[in-house]
Amino acid sequence: MIAKAMTLPFKGAAVIFVIAAIVAAPIIATLWGATDTSRNIMQIFEGPGLRYALGTLTLCLIAGAGAAIIGTLAASIVCLCQFPGRRALAVALALPFAIPAYISAYAYGDFLGPFGPAAGFIGAANMPEIRSMPGAAFILMLSTYPYVYLAMAASLSSRSSALMEAARTLGARPRRAALSVLVAAGRPALAGGLALALMEIAAEYGVADYFGVATLSVGIFRTWHGLGDLGAATQLAALLFFVALIFVLLEQSSRSGAASEQSYARRHAPSVVLSPFHALLAILSLLLPIIFGFLIPTGVLIENLAQTHSIAAARGLSQALVNTSLVASTGAIIAVGIATLLAYAGRGSRNILVQILLRIATLGYAVPGAVIAIGLLAIGSAVSQWIGAGAAGGLAILVYAYGARFLTAAFNSIAGGLEQINPQMDAAARVLGAGPAKIAGVIHLPQLRGAIAAGGAIVAIDIAKELPATLLLRPFNFETLATRIYRLASDERLADAAPAALLLIGVGLIPVLFLSSTIFAASPRDRQREDPQP
């Protein structure tokens, strides 16, 4: 038993090392290609390179600040105040999460265009220029504020009444105590949600490309597709990776204070009951992000859907749907299988090496799809030069990119499910003579079905919405729903793109509604209101 216990960590580390090496290979190839001795590394900041970097940072600054403000205010109002319709608005505020940012960009390009519905009300001459840096920041702000909102809502919903009582003892009024104490205590959640939003903003390609904003993601595509310069594209991808890495470190550092409050007490902070006037202001302020972030883009697409009558468009949509289902299901199955191996290999291990390798293996979710795609293209180029022929590609490379990018989502779900299984159950089964395979099949699998299904569904939905990696790596004439929307909307054919866009939105609504309803259904404050104690 002693020998077996000593060898298990090394076996687990070996499994995780192999997976980490496979996942990290595109990232390593990108970084290695950026240090090519035939190029000056400082060339990345010459010419358009500096403009791409500044564009990315500016977009992150503007859109990130807006997302932080909207998300924090919305969570504070929903979690700390009591007014009619609060529960419905709490769930509805997460709806913009279901719309990929590039779909919102196409919808607003039509809505605010010279011939769009808005021009009929205020006149074409008075229309704001949506295809600009402010317009891109507006779209990304609406698409990413749910990261901050959901993180802050989960934090504020579980805060103890002890904080409020201490502030009230010092003479603070309820409203001031709620804002200055509870919201301040949720700063780790704010930092974590904002870091996730910034990762999404930095990696976004469709919005920046459609609105003509020079960002690193756009620069990667222009350098590779337009100039065919893989070396320069690799340098831009490396810079984008380091930008994303900064946000990863910010998200990790935010977790250090996540559990600083010792009393997630059984008594939770009382809500501030709003007067009718203030309740009306709260409702109107919460409706604004829902209207601009979800209702207007969806309404524009539904209006354009009625104009679609082409049989060829219907055939193209069906083929894109089949292709999307193929790569999404294949990628989800592979990701779930690898994530299960990772979760078992690292289960209960406190080995530092295992923890480091696990972090590397699950880094892909924070890496922009364009970086992984460029890394795979660099690997393919090196292999083709080595063997003197064209490197193998096609769907296998595309699915590889999806697996490396979205493995984390499946791992988090399955590892969380494994943590809920008491290790004493395994020990009891071993005493009765059950082997590892029987324990996994008879004891673990029935309890992990929900976690496995959830992880697979999240990965499949993420794959269906992924645009940059698909555009760079897809085989010739292979189209998914995301690339179909991109192609048609770029050609100003939003009516033909509307069916595919609405399909993606409908698919994205499933996890969004589940997540938001779960957060607020599990809120102790809500349970106390629904079932008051005498």
Beta bridge partners of 82: 273
pLDDT on residue 85: 87
Contact 94, 147 (CB under 8 A): no
CATH top class, domain 7-40+307-490: mainly alpha
Which residue ranges make up each domain of the chain? 7-40+307-490, 50-306+498-528
pLDDT on residue 281: 92
pLDDT on residue 61: 94
Residue 47, SS3? coil
Return the closest-CA partner of residue 365 out of 466, 284, 434, 214. Answer: 466
- In angstroms, rounded to a whole number, what is the distance separating the alpha carbons of residues 416 and 424? 17
**Same CATH fold assignment for domains 7-40+307-490 and 50-306+498-528:** yes
pLDDT less than 70: residues of the chain: 1-12, 36-47, 119-120, 123-126, 158-186, 254-271, 308-314, 348-349, 384-393, 420, 422, 426, 434-437, 439-442, 517-534
Q: Tens digits of per-residue pLDDT, 46-103? A: 667 788 889 999 999 999 999 999 998 898 888 878 888 888 898 899 899 889 999 9
- Quote the strand ranges of 261-380, DSSP E: 272-273
465 to 1, 99, 102, 214, 459: CA distances (angstroms)? 48, 9, 10, 22, 10
Q: What is the CATH number that goes with domain 50-306+498-528? A: 1.10.3720.10
Return the closest-CA partner of residue 112 out of 97, 126, 96, 98. Answer: 126
Q: Where are the alpha helices (DSSP H) in 346-419?
A: 352-361, 369-387, 395-419
